[in-house]
Amino acid sequence: MGSVCRSSAIGAAVGRLEVVLVLAKLLAMQVNMHDAKTKLSELVAAAERGEKVIIARNGAPAVRLVAVTAEHAPVRLGVLAGEIELGPNFDEPLTEFEPYSA
């Protein structure tokens, strides 16, 4: 019976550890300025994953690092390829503008 108690105690400890890890992810990661300088790429990656990253100066929160989201969809080039046809004289001067081009 002793091994059953140990197994359930270990299982409970692992369960608590998982809860602690989940809570740690929910809370903001706070790093000091020096660590932020040396681990900037890691902090940016964490912010891009949606983690909350706080950079502190002398232990006091100074700034929050957040990922930038696109404000609009990127432009797709060539969407109308083959849909628009231009006549052979599309670039010839218009007769309406002849008085201005003299």
pLDDT (average), residues 62-90: 88
Q: What confidence score (pLDDT) does residue 41 get?
A: 93
Mean pLDDT of the chain: 80
CB 32 within 8 A of CB 56: yes
Q: What confidence score (pLDDT) does residue 76 get?
A: 86
Reported as a single tens digit per residue, the pLDDT across 18-59 is 665 555 555 678 899 999 999 999 999 999 998 899 999 998
What secondary structure letter does DSSP report for 85?
Answer: -
Alpha carbon dihedral 66, 59, 31, 52, in 10-degree steps, equals -30
**φ, ψ (nearest 5 deg) of residue 80:** -100, 15
Q: What confidence score (pLDDT) does residue 75 get?
A: 84
Whether pTM > 0.85 for this model: the answer is: no
Q: What confidence score (pLDDT) does residue 97 get?
A: 86
